Structure 1
Amino acid sequence: MNPICMTCGMQYAAPREDCPICEDERQYVPPSGQQWTDFATLRSEHEALVRPEGEGITGIGCTPKFAIGQRALLVEAAGGNFLWDLTAYLDDTIAGEIAARGGITGIAISHPHYYTTCVEWARAFDVPVYLHEHDRQWIGRPDGRIELWSGRTKRISDELTLINLGVHFAGGTVLHWSGGEHGEGALLSGDIVQVIPDREFVAFMYSYPNLIPERPAVVRRAAEILAGYRFEAIYGAWWDAVVRRDGHEVVQRSAKRYLEFVS
């Protein structure tokens, strides 16, 4: 059995007592203690949730919510469909919906909190999973389909580029889709660049559940990197967490405000 942490959703290669992801200060072990499930049980207790999130972007998750509750995003790019971030849940309904849209060429994940059952997904679709090498220590279930990449960017296709910003985790990554939003560009950010209730701004945190702010130098560098990319929309980690317009400007003014407050 490959156990799955019920708090963060990470799947491990063998039974264990601890979850390193949850014991890290960016996550938490609940007062009730560490609890585990497995893939078969997860599939028996939840069902698929698949619906549009934007132009050429489909959200994939489950109901009721499991663990952190993020949803994956299927990007229908010109060079081939691509899956961004993951949920622990995967069943025949989800596999069929993805197949009906032409399958996927690969998977990339923003940070370790969403690595979850990535090996199950990679094997189901026979595709690589791209993870940044800075976060290799957090991989819970090693597998040959996991491809570690290095450096600041990785070009997936003519339209898709992975960008390491280092926010939240050293390997914290976002996905830029130049062809998104009818050519105006889209940024798929997980919670590396966090979409918040006020859609005029985004947030940058080292730990969201424990309210630890990100280091100013990291935020400053992230804003400098993203200044070179054009994007209208920002797709965050949660259902309907989308900035629909002026995404580039939203990031830059949010970083400016953040740095003013923490200075």
Structure 2
Amino acid sequence: MAQNVSTAARAEMLDAQTATRGILQCATCGVEYDARDHPGICPICADERQYLPADGIQHWADPSRYAGPLELVELERGLFAMRGVEGVGIGQEANVLVTEHGNVMVEVPAAITDSAIEAVRALGPMRAIIPSHPHMFGLQSAWSEALGGAPVWVPRADAAWLGRAPARIRLWEGEEQVVPGITAAQLGGHFPGSAVVHWAGADGRGVLLSGDTIAPNPDGRTLAFMRSYPNRIPLSGTVALRVAEAAARFDFDRLYGNFAGAVLQDAREAVLASARRHAAWTSGEHDDLT
């Protein structure tokens, strides 16, 4: 036991440069790869859900050279967002849930800095890091190492997309309680393992961190269900309804996506109504309006 505590203590002291040693990341999607054994082309970007660089050339980045800020912003009591304003990748933000049973990071930034590590550590011990799907893997190995070896929960169905396996990886599927009050659930859709995380909320009304398994629209009242967001490939109406109904097993008043979008009231009903709208349009029900 003493050896485990000592190992964790050493890991918790890692700075950003040490944590990113041996890592390269795709400059387009920001996902980490083993610097000694990386592919010629990022398979995540070559997939139809993402995109290769416009010049057709694969670009790689050294994450230790990131010099931009990562800002930790409180969204509501017990929920923080980590936002970067520049750098590689697609610009996702991570969320940190703070509870008396330990903290959980949902989604992973494509950057890491000493100041961001310090800010996250100050919130309390990290019990789990949960990327919702491969686009959100980011620098998950580095963040795990910097936060004391926090286990990284990777959807089993999407594990083949890993370019670098974290030292502490937990392959999972279905639905699991991460810590009391926080449950992870795989709903599929965007990727077979696409997940959401439900939190009871500091006020007890429920919060869903939906990633882009279910993506908030700019109006703040409706949501989207897509196989590819940048390439505008929709899911079928049947799958949208399946995903929405699976999410609706949970009670939640608010929903936060992974690109700063949110639905801040009546979010559960908004998910169901949006899925019904999606299904109606994809079925041709409203073709008379086109």
TM over 0.5: same fold? yes
Identify the residue that residue 42 of structure 2 maps to in structure 1. 19
Q: Which has the larger radius of gyration?
A: 2
The offset of 1:158, in angstroms, is 2.1
The offset of 1:143, in angstroms, is 3.0
The offset of 1:22, in angstroms, is 0.2
Please, which of 179, 183, 186 is the counterpart of residue 207 of structure 2? 186
Assess, with a 3 A threshold, how the Cα gap between structure 1 residues 248 and 181 changes in structure 2: closer, same or farther.
farther
User: What residue identity is the alignment partner of 1:112?
Assistant: P
Please, which of 78, 82, 102 is the counterpart of residue 124 of structure 2? 102
Please, which of 174, 177, 180 is the counterpart of residue 158 of structure 1? 180
Identify the residue that residue 257 of structure 1 maps to in structure 2. 277
The offset of 1:97, in angstroms, is 0.9
Aligned partners of 1:11 and 1:116 also within 8 Å? yes
The offset of 1:121, in angstroms, is 0.8
Please, which of 58, 62, 76 is the counterpart of residue 34 of structure 1? 58
Is residue 2:231 matched to residue 1:207? no
The offset of 1:38, in angstroms, is 1.1
The offset of 1:4, in angstroms, is 0.6
Identify the residue that residue 265 of structure 2 maps to in structure 1. 245
Identify the residue that residue 117 of structure 1 maps to in structure 2. 139
The offset of 1:66, in angstroms, is 3.2
Identify the residue that residue 6 of structure 1 maps to in structure 2. 27
The secondary structure found in structure 1 opposite 2:209 is: strand
Aligned partners of 1:206 and 1:215 also within 8 Å? no
The secondary structure found in structure 2 opposite 1:169 is: coil
Identify the residue that residue 8 of structure 2 maps to in structure 1. none
The offset of 1:212, in angstroms, is 0.2
The secondary structure found in structure 2 opposite 1:254 is: helix
The offset of 1:233, in angstroms, is 0.5
The secondary structure found in structure 2 opposite 1:22 is: helix
The offset of 1:65, in angstroms, is 4.7
In terms of mean alpha carbon deviation, does 83-92 or 46-55 score higher? 46-55
Cα RMSD after superposing both structures: 1.3
The offset of 1:231, in angstroms, is 0.3
Identify the residue that residue 5 of structure 2 maps to in structure 1. none
In terms of mean alpha carbon deviation, does 94-103 or 244-253 score higher? 94-103
1:224-261 CA distances to partner (integer Å, 9 max, x unpaired)?
2122210011011123x121100101101001111111
Aligned partners of 1:181 and 1:233 also within 8 Å? no
Identify the residue that residue 226 of structure 1 maps to in structure 2. 247
Map 1:132-171 to 2 at 5 A: 132-150=155-173, 152-171=174-193
Aligned partners of 1:78 and 1:159 also within 8 Å? no
Please, which of 92, 111, 118 is the counterpart of residue 70 of structure 1? 92
1:24-54 CA distances to partner (integer Å, 9 max, x unpaired)?
0000002122211112122xx3222221122
Q: What is the TM-score of this pair, normalised by structure 2? A: 0.85
Tell me the distance in 2 between the aligned counterparts of 1:55 and 1:246: 18
1:116-171 CA distances to partner (integer Å, 9 max, x unpaired)?
21110111111100011000110110133111012x21111221111111020000
Aligned partners of 2:141 and 2:167 also within 8 Å? no
Assess, with a 3 A threshold, how the Cα gap between structure 1 residues 139 and 15 changes in structure 2: closer, same or farther.
closer
In terms of mean alpha carbon deviation, does 81-90 or 212-221 score higher? 212-221
Tell me the distance in 1 between the aligned counterparts of 2:195 and 2:154: 9
The offset of 1:181, in angstroms, is 5.1
1:67-119 CA distances to partner (integer Å, 9 max, x unpaired)?
10011111112322111101121111111111211131111111100102111
Identical positions, percent? 35
The secondary structure found in structure 1 opposite 2:203 is: helix
Assess, with a 3 A threshold, how the Cα gap between structure 1 residues 181 and 214 changes in structure 2: closer, same or farther.
farther
Moved over 3 A (4+): none
Work out the number of aligned pairs and report it. Answer: 258
Tell me the distance in 2 between the aligned counterparts of 1:77 and 1:218: 33
Q: Gaps spanning 5+ residues in structure 2: where?
A: 1-21, 284-290
Aligned partners of 2:68 and 2:85 also within 8 Å? yes
Tell me the distance in 2 between the aligned counterparts of 1:36 and 1:103: 32
The secondary structure found in structure 2 opposite 1:197 is: coil
